[in-house]
Structure 1
Amino acid sequence: MPRSGATAPATTRRRRPRPVVRTVTSVAVVSAVVVGGSYAAGLGPFARGATDAEPAALAQARAFLADWAAGRLPDAAGRTTRPATAQEVLRNFTAGLDIRRPTLTVAAAPTQAADDTVDVPFTATMPIADLGTWTYRSKLPLRQRSDGSWKVDWSLSVVHPRLSGTKKFHLEREDTGATPNVTDRKGASLSATTFPSLDPVLRQLDAGTDAGGARGAIQLVDRATGKVTRTEATFAKKPDRPARRPVRTTLDATWQAAAEKALASGAHGRNASLVALRIDNGEILAMANSPSSGFNRAVSGTYAPGSTWKIVTSSALLLKGAVAPSDVVDCPKYLTVGKEFHNVETSEHRNATFLKDFTESCNTAFISLRGKLGDRELGDVAGKYFGVGQKWRVGIASYDGSVPAPRDETEQAASMIGQGRIQANPLIMASVTATAVSGTFHQPSITHGNQNTTSTAPLPRKVVAQLRTMLRTTVTDGTARGLAGLPGDIGAKTGTAEVSDDEPNNGWLAAHRGNVALACVVEQGVTGGGSAGPVIRDLLTAAPADPS
């Protein structure tokens, strides 16, 4: 159960934080398009011996493939017998191998297998970023549950027939001799040697800028020894454009160096990421990941934001006058809404004000206010004022959040505290914080001149003032006290997000100081204040001044 800041209902589906597929190089790609969701043309009737149940199994298989292709990984995983494991594998396979916009289509009629499953063959067309397309065949085994529903019977071979507990895939890119031609905001050269966390970012930004072309291969390797046992696909892409001028980013070398150092020392070997951006225009100053190579969790991660999401929930409540900071909203140890929710270490704050509930991250108090918001209201506020769920054009591939309407009262309760099916990442939560304290959403960006197709409204000044007070009080007299000794008018919100019953919680912290907003997540960090807090503290200590 959660120990700080958030709980999740039994229906919540979360990935397990330890990657199953590790790669040397990866570009974060979670955004994808829905393809292959309709019945494959020309399949004809079911195979001989088919049962009446097979149309339902096929429908579930098609839905799984459509969700996977569209990047709706929690939904895809929820259609399997092992949601947490499935989401982890799908995320790392798709993003870790630099797969963009996969096309997944049913390839043949379903057949009845000997183990009472229904097998649905499918074709996977996987475009590998800046290299080429990898196409292969696999199959989905569907098993009927006691309630009559069908689920994908999860195993690693669902993703690819050769993926197993002893074998994994590795994307090897060949060095063409060209060096990334990317600079920071002041023109200083940025390299993966100096800034390891930027390796996947630099590859995206610099793709196609040299005349050397691109070469690479997808290899099947032994998990224990790392020995290549088979080459699945090779790529040799010819250059399609001449060399161009250096790409100047919004990154700040000083902040990036501080971010990488803070995360390297504070993550303690756990998966983690952080983002720092300017409040006045959304320009990204730094992003870092641990491990430094591989999946870019900072901008393409899909996490439950936990209690940092209470910034958005509070905004929704304050906007409609449903509550005021001084109102008494009791904070009991437990509250049952389809399942039992509780607070950090089952703490309670009787007769607490809403301000106290926020600063101490009281789950039960926030959940008790769920009736004040309509089913879609939280998502509407997130999109209208914070841009969450709209399409962001950051300059690199990004996941821009999801706040679906709750399917039942338990999920509605969970969504009030950043659980349920709400998905975010450090880029989103840094942007949410920037919007909360300024009143205006600015599309985050890492390059200049990106098209902005978002449409948002400014938060009322009264709500902004209330949010700033609540965030500041969380530092001076709440769960973010670890930042209290630093200079500057710092505000923050901690968060802890439940992953599964058998995994430690993820730790979150979102903060602002001066013209900078930040957010950090530490997988298996247990508490936000105890894991993400020290990382943000080290970063703010090392980079004391606002960037010019």
Structure 2
Amino acid sequence: MSSYVDFPHTGPGRRRPHRTAKAFTAVAVVAAVAAGGAYATGLGPFGGEDGPDPEAVAEARAFLADWSAGRLPEAAARTTGPDRAEEVLQGFTAGLDIEEPKLTAGTPKDTGDGTVTVPFTARMPVTGLGVWTYDSKLPLRQADDGAWKVEWKLSLVHPRLSDTEKFRLEREETAPVEATDRDGETLSGTTHPSLAPVLAQLAGGTDGGGARGTVQLVDRATGKVERTEASFGGDDTLKDEGPVRTTLDADWQAAAERALGEADGKNASLVALRIDDGEILAVANSPATGFNRAVSGTYAPGSTWKIVTSAALLLKGAVAPDDVVDCPQYLTVGKRFQNVETSEHPGATFRKDFTESCNTAFISLRGKLGDGELGEVAKKHFGVGQTWHVGVPSYDGSVPVPRDATEKAASMIGQGRVQANPLIMASVTATAVSGTFRQPSLVDGTDDETTTTPLPPEVVTQLRTLMRATVTEGTARVLAGLPGDIGAKTGTAEVSDEQDNNGWLVAHRGNVAVACVVEEGVTGGGSAGPVIASLLSAVPES
């Protein structure tokens, strides 16, 4: 059975699929943008005297930021056809069950005919299915009054969207798979609410198949399928084999879900995994239903990324913990960077810079690394950006080569276009303190196609020492009173001018690494810190 939303002639309402054993739903596809958003608008000097007008680029980024945040009237007002644009964007967004998607702007181009084109990549997580990714572009034209506007056309939403063709989602409903934890205890969305979307994703197979569905391009008049744009889901192999035994631990999972109560009602997510084999002990999201942001989300990791940056610097002997690396309040590299609360530490050592999370000090060391070196270290030693087979759909990180000096400065502190999520940062933490990347897994038997090189023992020792000092004398003192030899790193990640910063904290104790992000948590120690403190207080040292 199918139901249709005849986009773009639709209002903001959303039809829910009929819940039958083999029901299919057809709805119009959504475009949208990022959990975590972009790092500030205008990441550096993209335009100049011979390049695109910076005002045009700023308008394009503002349009994407409004669209990403759901401010559709504001986004539409930035176009040459605001009424139609708002109708289409609203119908397109409301038509498909997507949460926290991401739009990433590319390098703008002056087309030479009075227009500027800004390409962008759309990553749209379809709840319970996976992520639909495609590329499109924004055309901008200067109005008579000199102001730049997005030139409205259907194809900017998606290149194949037109007056004659639209998108449809065919979703096949599947029952959540029966699952147990590592010790055979039954798991369900009733006993562990955060696992509802995870168990739904497991329904289709061990390689992240999940429920099945397709995004199709269809003829508006006849409904004929012209092509399949994206496919999600696997086969029914797990259904006939009895309960799926996962790597999860029911006690850790319950403690993780309770701990997210410390996030004060904000969107938050957490992952805990074993350091020695990458097996995932807990995956928790708040709210519990919907998008599995802990594994598939895309966020700027902020200063937790300084673990990777430090590894890159230490690997080539570019800095030592006792070296003096001054920490001023501000540092300008195309734009002004500052420390949290504009703190400063004159004459600080690199150890102090790490424990106090000094942005300006880390940025000052950018010349010690080649433009692509941070991404190379992340991929080679930490597995970030390689393809992971976790057992459910996952986002495996991205560290692009910086496009300019400003973006390189931002990447040193986990901003710019660096993208991660709690699964990635828990894995980064585990790799840093063990020296060896082990692909995270939620079930047995997942393929491992990654290829990594262990970190040298002396670098591991230095990273462990720096993370331990962050707990005993730095920004992660919220964990100092807990038992065990805990090491940690806090992070504060800028999102946009309209949103508060996201708060991060990663930590390790015994054989477990954990990572937590609290959206708009302002600071890592103040928001994610209490969450991880609650979790580690509730479980024994492993």
TM-score by length of 2: 0.70
User: 1:106-125 alignment to 2 at 5 Å?
Assistant: none
Shift of 1:94: 11
CA shift digits 1:477-536 (9 cap, x unpaired): 000000000000000000000011221100000100000000000000000000000000
Shift of 1:215: 9.9
Does the 8 Å contact 1:325/1:355 carry over to 2? yes
CA distance 1:131–1:307, shift in 2 (3 Å): closer
2:419 equivalent to 1:423: yes
CA–CA distance in structure 2, aligned partners of residues 288 and 401 of structure 1? 19
CA distance 1:95–1:492, shift in 2 (3 Å): farther
SS in 2 for 1:391: coil
CA–CA distance in structure 1, aligned partners of residues 379 and 407 of structure 2? 19
CA distance 1:98–1:310, shift in 2 (3 Å): closer
CA–CA distance in structure 2, aligned partners of residues 99 and 410 of structure 1? 26
Which of 385, 389, 395 aligns to 1:389? It is: 385
Shift of 1:127: 11
Does the 8 Å contact 2:182/2:249 carry over to 1? yes
Which of 297, 303, 307 aligns to 1:301? It is: 297
CA distance 1:427–1:478, shift in 2 (3 Å): same
Does the 8 Å contact 1:74/1:83 carry over to 2? no
Structure 1 residues without counterparts, runs of 5 or longer: 1-19, 26-64, 101-115, 161-168, 219-232
CA–CA distance in structure 1, aligned partners of residues 15 and 267 of structure 2? 14
Q: Which amino acid aligns with 2:64?
A: P
The more displaced of 407-416 and 242-251 is 242-251
CA distance 1:247–1:362, shift in 2 (3 Å): same
CA distance 1:464–1:349, shift in 2 (3 Å): same
2:200 equivalent to 1:188: no
CA distance 1:424–1:238, shift in 2 (3 Å): closer
CA–CA distance in structure 2, aligned partners of residues 158 and 260 of structure 1? 40
Q: Which amino acid aligns with 1:82?
A: F
CA shift digits 1:395-450 (9 cap, x unpaired): 11000000001111111111111101100000000000000000000001101111
In structure 2, what is the equivalent of residue 83 of structure 1? 64
CA shift digits 1:259-287 (9 cap, x unpaired): 00001x11211111010000001000001
In structure 1, what is the equivalent of residue 259 of structure 2? 262
Which of 329, 334, 338 aligns to 1:338? It is: 334
CA distance 1:84–1:512, shift in 2 (3 Å): same
The more displaced of 425-434 and 181-190 is 181-190
SS in 2 for 1:493: strand
Shift of 1:143: 2.7
CA distance 1:257–1:127, shift in 2 (3 Å): closer
Which of 362, 374, 385 aligns to 1:378? It is: 374
User: 1:449-464 alignment to 2 at 5 Å?
Assistant: 449-464=445-460
CA shift digits 1:345-389 (9 cap, x unpaired): 111111110000000000111011010000000000000000000
In structure 2, what is the equivalent of residue 520 of structure 1? 516
CA distance 1:540–1:145, shift in 2 (3 Å): farther
In structure 1, what is the equivalent of residue 527 of structure 2? 531
CA–CA distance in structure 1, aligned partners of residues 404 and 149 of structure 2? 21
Relative contact order: is structure 1 or structure 2 higher (C-alpha 8 Å, sep ≥ 6)?
A: 1
CA–CA distance in structure 1, aligned partners of residues 353 and 66 of structure 2? 34
Shift of 1:246: 1.6
In structure 2, what is the equivalent of residue 111 of structure 1? none
SS in 2 for 1:243: helix
TM-score by length of 1: 0.69
2:435 equivalent to 1:439: yes
User: 1:343-362 alignment to 2 at 5 Å?
Assistant: 343-362=339-358
CA RMSD, 1 decimal = 4.5
2:187 equivalent to 1:206: no
Shift of 1:152: 5.3
The more displaced of 265-274 and 240-249 is 240-249
In structure 2, what is the equivalent of residue 41 of structure 1? none
CA–CA distance in structure 2, aligned partners of residues 23 and 255 of structure 1? 36
CA–CA distance in structure 1, aligned partners of residues 350 and 63 of structure 2? 38
User: 1:24-173 alignment to 2 at 5 Å?
Assistant: 81-88=62-69, 96-97=97-98, 142-145=139-142, 159=157
SS in 2 for 1:388: coil
Shift of 1:85: 3.1
Which of 279, 282, 285 aligns to 2:278? It is: 282
CA–CA distance in structure 2, aligned partners of residues 92 and 281 of structure 1? 40
Identity %: 68
Structure 2 residues without counterparts, runs of 5 or longer: 1-11, 18-28, 42-56, 71-88, 102-113, 159-166, 216-224, 226-232
Would you say how many aligned residue pairs link Structure 1 and Structure 2?
432
Does the 8 Å contact 1:206/1:247 carry over to 2? no
Shift of 1:128: 6.8
